[in-house]
Homo-oligomer: A and B are copies of this chain.
Amino acid sequence: MDFERSLELLWRDRGEARQPTRGRKPKLTLDQVIATAVALADGAGEATVSMSQIAKELGAGTMTLYTYVPGKTELLDLMVDSVLAERDLPGPGDPRPDGWREQVRLYADRTLAVFRAHPWLRSTSMVRPVLGPGLMAGQEYVIAAVSDIGLEPRKAAAAANSIEIYVQANATLFAETALVEQETGQSTDAWWGQRSVFWEKYFDVERHPAMTRIWESGGYDADTCEAADETFAFGLERLLDGIEALVTR
């Protein structure tokens, strides 16, 4: 099986190294490859880095990478898990904030920070996830936080999942914002400004009365970045309110 190879690579810390005793010495390490790929992806505004770019940066031939990694997909998985681990969330037994809400907020903040720092996480999916240490640590942390409040197991799982989905969705938005700003060199506000023609020539007030009302009463006064932060915080608090209400009542 091919995914067993992936698992070995993801969990390479654990277990016996089992290095080959004969044959040519490798000129790189897996961690070097991953780190270089991450650095390159961070720097370049591009959504993806090509194998040849990574190889060139490492001073190696393109095909050399394929001895360290089965293919580009797997390398991407390794990159993802590697930066998710950067969140460095408290493990079991480690000290953590008081109260489940505060714990969830820590998760959200760290996750958002990672997505902002590594915008290419945008394309990361939660179906068929990476199954590496970085992701698992996050899952464990959120479930532990939610478990504190005394929901029945099935609901606890659903609550943890919906929190993770909401957080990742917003993190993805921030990542995307960072990405297009990097790619196009144009701030989101500038983008909207350039699109003012739309409001003048195409937006039909009669077809969009509710939007117009909110607009006129100042509901959209805020630059885009501020608004996004506000929306995220608002939604998260409402979600947590809703979850809490199941228990306290």
Contacts A211-B143, A239-B242 given; does A234 touch B153 at CB 8 Å = no
Q: Report if A149 contacts B (CB, 8 A).
A: no
Chain A 201-249 residues near chain B, CB threshold 8 A: 201-203, 206-211, 213-214, 217-222, 227, 230-232, 234-235, 237-243, 245-246
Give the segment of A16-24, A27-35, A187-195 that binds chain B.
A187-195
Instruction: State A105–B39 Cα separation when bound (angstroms).
Output: 42
Interface residues of A in 157-174 (CB under 8 A from B): 157-159, 161-163, 165-166, 168-170, 172-173
**C-alpha gap A222/B155 in the complex (Å):** 12
Q: Name the distance in Å between A187's Cβ and chain B's nearest Cβ.
A: 11
- In the assembled complex, how far is the CB of residue A74 from the closest CB belonging to chain B, in whole angstroms? 15
- Is B173 a contact partner of A210 (Cβ separation < 8 A)? no
* A238 near B3: Cβ-Cβ < 8 Å: no
Chain A: interface size category: 35 or more
Q: B127 near A195 (CB under 8 angstroms)?
A: no
In the complex, A153 Cα to B137 Cα: how many Å? 39
Docked complex Cα distance between A124 and B188 (Å): 17
A197 at the A/B interface (Cβ < 8 Å)?
yes
| Min CB gap A51→B, angstroms | 19
Q: Which 5 A-B pairs have the closest CB atoms?
A: A162-B235, A238-B242, A169-B169, A153-B219, A241-B242
